[in-house]
Structure 1
Amino acid sequence: MRLTNIKDVQKFIDVVNSCEHEVYLKSLEGDIFNLKSSMSQYIAIGRLIQESGSSLELFANDKNDQIRLINFLHDLNAE
């Protein structure tokens, strides 16, 4: 899932923290940020805020977590 236009970063982090399994971002450069790690969250949020935010892809290993994230992104785009 490509990330674009995430304005409510705290809500995004809350959704990620509600996921039960690994959730991570991957950049075009090959950087991988494990969003279940607080340290990686800070770095990834910096990337989201920078110009490269739309080039980041979001991955989740678990189907239920994928559904949570897709619902969040769908609601975000509906606003």
Structure 2
Amino acid sequence: MSSPVQLHDVDVNSFLKVLDDCKGKVFLVTDEGDRLNLKSKLSQLVGLTRLIEGGKIAEAFVMCDDPEDESKLFRFNLFGSEGKEPK
């Protein structure tokens, strides 16, 4: 499993779209060390509701099984909803 990717000030709807495009498992890592599988809609509800402030994810750590998913989420965190560099 990869190292954690820290996400901050993330739009929830865009984040969920990126999660749907991920190939492998993506885990939300809580401060207590719990890991919630974000590919599960139930886990998304449980995990994300704890982190949402004003419609955005204030701060979170995610871990991915697939290195491509890790890159996708890292780019999303840097560049926004599409995870692509601005032109």
Using the size of structure 2 for normalisation, the TM-score is 0.75
> In percent, how many aligned pairs have the same letter?
32
Q: Any runs of at least 4 consecutive aligned residues in structure 1 with deviations exceeding 3 A, and if so which? A: none
Q: Paired residue for 2:47, among 27, 41, 44?
A: 44
Using the size of structure 1 for normalisation, the TM-score is 0.82
In structure 2, stretches of 5+ residues that fail to align are none
Where do 1:11-30 residues align within 5 Å? Answer: 11-30=14-33
Paired residues, number: 75
- What CA RMSD, in Å, does the superposition of the two structures yield over aligned residues? 2.1
Letter in 2 for 1:10: N
Q: State how far apart, in whole Å, the 1-side matches of 2:74 and 2:27 are.
A: 14
- Name whichever structure is richer in helix by fraction: 1
